[in-house]
Structure formats: structure tokens, C-alpha cells
Amino acid sequence: MNGHAPVMLTEVIAALAPRDGALYVDGTFGGGGYSRAILEAADCRVLGIDRDPDAIARGQALIAHFGGRLSLVEGEFSRMDSYVEASDGVVLDLGVSSFQFDQPERGFSFRTDGPLDMRMSRSGMSAADFINSADHGTLARVLSRFGEEKNASRIARAIIAARPITGTAELARIVAEAQGPAALRHAIHPATRTFQALRIQVNDELGELEQGLEAALRILKPKGRLAVVSFHSLEDRIVKQFMVRQAGATPHASRHLPQKSGSRPALKLIARNPQTPSSMEITANPRARSAKLRVAERLAA
């Protein structure tokens, strides 16, 4: 299980507060870090879910270690309510695992050259399939919406002019050249937003998240906790709006004004603002620097 440091592990376990006899869902099993910590914190059970078959294969060692207390399902966390009827807690660690980033053949990173893949499930349309077939308008919209890339149209034109593109290094070079020399002086690589956008598009990450939050709400028992770690503003916005909406509040509601009447709240916010990693954790694991943890508790129906 080496190679993946679960982000904000102490804070997540504190939020879930595992207890004996309970069942928890680790909807993004990845390297199994959260599952291991939950199982070590109490005599409980964990259902781990991951659409990456490599993660399921790696997890067999943990199953052997914990026996019947850990079970794994290869699938999408958006379908967690089809795998289990009720849970005492759900944790979601969004985005790409270190294992996926660090394997050039998976195509998630431009740091090392590899095939332009980016598929978490290893099935369906790859990033190469998408960029080599999409028209300018579609490409530009994806880069703008999912990458928040202000030069989306210019990058889309450069990609179309250079097609076919099959490798990560090739795409990173094309994007950097389209951005111009000034982009190279910025702290982040000029291809970062483009790679994020393509990854989100290929894996329908935002749709998966929206459906997954609804599924978690359906299976959570009263007082069950939902803990979500996000890594960029698009994810965090969806999580925040979902939790605030289900708590019966509005993002900018004034405590001096009466709440609007409506359906009974389903969640209680544990904190209005998200938790962020400590400076010590960011130093030890720079990938944690943009993480935000939001936690909510299921209210009685």
C-alpha cells in the first residue's frame, strides 16, 4: 500500500468517529488508506468502492489482513446505494489517486510521457479519443468549464491543428506553446488546467460526484457522517451547495433573517467552513495543499 498518502486522514477519522459494529463506505478506495484507518479505529466493517480495477487488485492484501471486515466492489461510488442499503458513515476522497498520477501508462500526468488515456475505469472513451474527435466549440467549452481555462479557445485551436495527438508530453507541449512564453513564468504548469478538464470530461467526475452525494444521503443512517475531501473549486462548490441545500440553509443566509419554509432538512453541517490541511501535512505531502474537507451529519427522517 505504499505510494499513496491519504489526505487529512486524522481529520477524516475524527469526523467519522468509527465505532464498533458499524458499517462505513469508502467510496473512493484508492490505496486503501482511509479504509485501513477506519478498521483500525474500531471493530467495524468497511465497504470499499473504486472503479479502477488496479485499486481493487491492490486492495486484496488489505482484505487478507482484515478478513471479513473489509469488502471491495469494482464500480462507481455514484451507485453506492445499490451495493449497500444503510451505512453509518461515508467518506469520499475526490480526484485522482497518487497511484494513478505516478503511473505514466495511465496518462493522468504530463510530468512523464505516456499514452493520453486518463480513464479511471480503463474502459470507455480515452482523453486521446476525445481531443482527436471533438470540434472546436466542444473542446473550448470543456477546457473553459472543467479547467476554468481563460485561453480555452486558443488552446482548442492549437489542439485541432496538431491532431492526431496521442501522448501526454506532446499535449503538454502544444498547450504550453499555445499559452505563450508568459505562461511558463507562472507557478503552475500551463497545461495543468487542460489536463484537469480532460480528466473530468473523460470520467464524468462532476456528474459522478453529484449522483454520489445523493446516493450517500439515501444510505446514511441518522447521525451517520458524510465526509468529503475535494481538491479544486468545481468539486468543492458542488459539495458545499449540496450540504448547505440539504441542511435547509442558503450559502449566504443571514442569521438575522427567518429561514424560508420548505422540506425538512436532511443534513446538519458540522462546520460552516471547510477544514484544510495543516502546514506540516502540506510540507510532507504537497498534493494536499488544495484539499478541503467538508462534513455533514444525517438527521432523522
Indicate yes or no: pTM above 0.85. Answer: yes
In a domain, 125, yes or no: yes
Task: From 149, 182, 203, give the residue that closes a domain.
Answer: 203
CATH number for the domain including 218?
A: 3.40.50.150
Domain stops at, among 203, 222, 255: 203
Same structural domain for residues 232 and 93?
Answer: yes
Length in residues, the chain:
301
Residues 257 and 218 in one domain: yes
Position 2 in a domain: no
So what's the pLDDT on residue 53?
Answer: 93
- Give the model's pLDDT for residue 60: 96
pLDDT of the residue at 225: 98
Q: pLDDT of 197-247, one tens digit each?
A: 999 999 999 999 999 999 999 999 999 999 999 999 999 999 999 999 999
* Residues 60 and 124 reside in one and the same domain: no
Shared domain check, 213 and 94:
yes
Among 160, 177, 203, identify where a domain stops: 203
Structural domain that includes position 258 = 9-99+205-298
Q: Which residues pair with 72 in a beta bridge?
A: 48
- Residue of 52, 57, 75 lying closest to 122 (CA atoms): 52
**Confidence at residue 1, expressed as pLDDT on a 0 to 100 scale:** 39
Task: Assess whether 209 and 192 both reside in one domain.
Answer: no
Q: Which three cell numbers stand for residue 64?
A: 487478507
Domain assignment of residue 110, yes or no: no
Do 215 and 75 share a structural domain? Answer: yes
Domain count, the chain: 2
Ranges of residues in the chain with a pLDDT under 50 are 1-3, 251-261
Q: Is residue 287 part of a domain?
A: yes
